[in-house]
Chain A
Amino acid sequence: MGVAKYLEGKIIFLIINISSVAFSAILLKAFNVNLNLIIFTTALNLTGGLIFYIFDYFSKSNYFKEVIKNLENLDKKYLISDITEKADFLEGRILNEIIKKATKSMNDEISQIKRNIDDYREYIELWVHEVKTPIAASKLIIENNKSEVTKSIEEEINKIDNYIEQALFYTRSNSTEKDYIIKKYKLRTIVNKVIRRNASVFIAKRIHIETENLDQEIYSDSKWLEFILNQIMINSIKYMNKEEKKLKIYAENLGENVILNIQDNGIGIAEKDIVKIFEKGYTGENGRIFSKSTGMGLYLCKKLCDNLGLGIKIASEEGVGTIVSINFSINKMLIFQ
């Protein structure tokens, strides 16, 4: 609130003020009052007005300066009413009251929506657990009745299982509360778990697996990381087109960071698709040509990595293959902050 702005707001009062002083001076002159007396009276009137405006300006300007400063320092701006002191002038107090009411109504609205999200999330979690029981039963029935038909059904069921897991992690990644536990793991433990999980597909498609230097220790949530690696491996499997199919999983220790690389010799990704690859729903050329893709897998990987504080990037050459790299920070201060 600058002086000019303030005066601009008070322009009508100023005009009235000055004209009434001027008018009374003219009036006094008309009654032949002593000139000195007229000057004295006019000066007195003007000083009185000036003192009022100066006082008024500083009390308001100080108050609003404080409020604006607080607002700027605030991470969540809607909390402003909680940290604002009551104004000692009328307009300020009215404004306080209005902001307070608006904020309260806003907070009620937000907590209602948060409750709805949490309810929904809880429902999805419950639903996922429930639907896993019939899936587990189906898989056992298939296992006990192996044939070409049941094998084909099993492949479809595994797809369903993957889609369900995506839904579960989508909900988890949007959760308002932290939903993971960071612990120390050997990369090998988690990588091997995911390989074993996909063993039958790897074997059936004769994909050669190579692992290297995986005895690195990293900090993460094992379930989340398993999901991320599983999505990446499923992608690799999906887009393998060569006679000799290869998947190489290896780590590099760079002191402060451990990088896990998952490298395949599949069809690769076009340069124009790589930039958008982590976008939600982005399928790219491969997704359209080779097999149906929802564009959710890598989007979720990126989102979960962001939540866990991991870096993820993709490098690829069309026709040659793709490398997905995950960067684990080993800096403990960062992890336990």
Chain B
Amino acid sequence: MERKKIFIIEDEEKIREELKNFLFRYGYEVESSIDFQNIIELALKSNSHLILLDINLPYFDGYYVCREIRRRSNIPIIVVTSRDSEIDELMSMNLGADDFITKPYNTQILLARISSILRRAYNENDSEIIEYKDLILDLSKSEVTFKGNKIELSKNENKILYILLKNKEKIVSRNYIIEELWQSDEFIDDNTLTVNVNRLRKKLEEVGAYDYLKTKRGQGYIILWE
């Protein structure tokens, strides 16, 4: 899967650098610039998929930058600001921003918003289907197929399998799965996760996918077939 590119417009050096590291770790390509006089041109020329825009900037006000970018491109813009009144949010939305996040942001929420906006903007139908060896997950239909055998998954099972497949052959901690589910408003607890994973495993076995979903005691779960 091709890496999506994010352009960061942020004058605070530490935030810019840490944000770059953070987003890079989560699979994004990141670009930024400190040439705020020409930041609009640079952002547009960078061929990014999304812009993270701070409002307090040198040279130009972030609202102006937002309006100018929107005038010339449809690239998704997320406004990131420490001003958190309803008025600021309305203003950003009216100037063409796609989303509005207030500092200090919860990093999980930031990631969730970025990925949902990217999905919406680029209509990622192809990424709705994930394959691993003989296992095929159709996220939109909530259906898993193994060697021609199909079985339907519940909402939570679907999401859990998606998270595991996205991190295939890597151990995913229970907390990480729970947090991911919470960010899509499924407020499940530890016990529910155990129940859901067990059910998911049973369903995988029903279609013949034995030993795909493994429990790593004290660490989490992994999708791996050797």
Residues of A with Cβ closer than 8 Å to B? 128-130, 132-133, 135-141, 143-144, 161, 179-181, 183, 192, 195-197, 199-200, 202-204, 206-209, 211, 221-223
- Asked if A197 and B106 sit within 8 Å, CB to CB, the answer is yes
Complex interface residues of chain B between 81 and 102 (CB less than 8 A to chain A): 82-87, 89-90
- Residue on B with the closest CB to A204? B175
CA–CA, A222 and B86, complex, Å:
7
| Residues A143 and B22 in contact in the complex (CB < 8 Å), given A135-B104, A223-B84 | yes
Tell me the number of A-to-B contacts counted with CB atoms below 8 Å: 90
**CB proximity of B73 to chain A, nearest CB, Å:** 27
**CB proximity of B156 to chain A, nearest CB, Å:** 14
Query: Which DSSP category, helix, strand, loop or mixed, fits chain B's interface?
Result: helix
**CB proximity of A100 to chain B, nearest CB, Å:** 39
Report if B185 contacts A (CB, 8 A).
Answer: yes
Give every chain A residue within 8 A of B85 (Cβ-Cβ).
179, 223
Knowing that A129-B82, A138-B104, A200-B179 are A-B contacts, what are 20 other residue pairs whose CB atoms are under 8 Å apart, sorted by A's residue number?
A128-B82, A129-B83, A136-B104, A137-B15, A140-B22, A141-B14, A143-B18, A181-B86, A195-B182, A195-B185, A196-B106, A196-B182, A199-B108, A199-B182, A200-B108, A203-B175, A206-B189, A207-B189, A222-B86, A223-B85
24 contacts between A and B (CB under 8 A): A128-B82, A129-B82, A132-B103, A132-B104, A133-B82, A133-B103, A135-B103, A136-B103, A140-B14, A141-B18, A144-B21, A179-B85, A181-B90, A192-B185, A196-B109, A199-B106, A199-B182, A199-B183, A200-B108, A203-B179, A203-B189, A206-B189, A209-B189, A221-B86
**CB proximity of A209 to chain B, nearest CB, Å:** 4
**CB proximity of B117 to chain A, nearest CB, Å:** 16
CA–CA, A232 and B36, complex, Å:
42
**CB proximity of A129 to chain B, nearest CB, Å:** 4
Report if B64 contacts A (CB, 8 A).
Answer: no
CA–CA, A195 and B85, complex, Å:
20
- Residue on A with the closest CB to B11? A133
Complex interface residues of chain B between 1 and 53 (CB less than 8 A to chain A): 12, 14-15, 18-19, 21-22, 25
Give every chain B residue within 8 A of A138 (Cβ-Cβ).
104
CA–CA, A28 and B89, complex, Å:
95
Give every chain B residue within 8 A of A204 (Cβ-Cβ).
175
Query: Which DSSP category, helix, strand, loop or mixed, fits chain A's interface?
Result: helix
CA–CA, A196 and B103, complex, Å:
15
**CB proximity of A270 to chain B, nearest CB, Å:** 29
Report if B105 contacts A (CB, 8 A).
Answer: yes
CA–CA, A317 and B179, complex, Å:
32
- Residue on A with the closest CB to B54? A133
Give every chain A residue within 8 A of B106 (Cβ-Cβ).
196-197, 199-200
Closest 6 CB pairs of A and B: A140-B18, A136-B104, A132-B82, A209-B187, A136-B103, A129-B82
- Asked if A203 and B178 sit within 8 Å, CB to CB, the answer is yes
**CB proximity of A14 to chain B, nearest CB, Å:** 68
- Residue on B with the closest CB to A165? B84
CA–CA, A297 and B22, complex, Å:
33
- Asked if A140 and B82 sit within 8 Å, CB to CB, the answer is no
CA–CA, A180 and B182, complex, Å:
29
CA–CA, A195 and B188, complex, Å:
12
Give every chain A residue within 8 A of B56 (Cβ-Cβ).
129
Complex interface residues of chain B between 170 and 216 (CB less than 8 A to chain A): 175, 178-179, 182-183, 185, 187, 189-190
CA–CA, A200 and B162, complex, Å:
21
CA–CA, A137 and B182, complex, Å:
24
Of the listed residues A137, A181, A206, A223, the one surrounded by the most CB atoms of chain B closer than 10 A to its CB is A137
| Residues A140 and B19 in contact in the complex (CB < 8 Å), given A129-B82, A222-B86 | yes
- Asked if A197 and B175 sit within 8 Å, CB to CB, the answer is no
- Residue on A with the closest CB to B187? A209
- Residue on A with the closest CB to B81? A129
CA–CA, A290 and B183, complex, Å:
30
Identify which of B86, B182, B190 contacts A206 (C-beta below 8 A).
B190
Identify which of A140, A180, A206, A209 contacts B15 (C-beta below 8 A).
A140
- Asked if B107 and A140 sit within 8 Å, CB to CB, the answer is yes
- Asked if A133 and B86 sit within 8 Å, CB to CB, the answer is no
**CB proximity of A304 to chain B, nearest CB, Å:** 13
- Asked if A223 and B182 sit within 8 Å, CB to CB, the answer is no
**CB proximity of A118 to chain B, nearest CB, Å:** 16
CA–CA, A136 and B104, complex, Å:
4
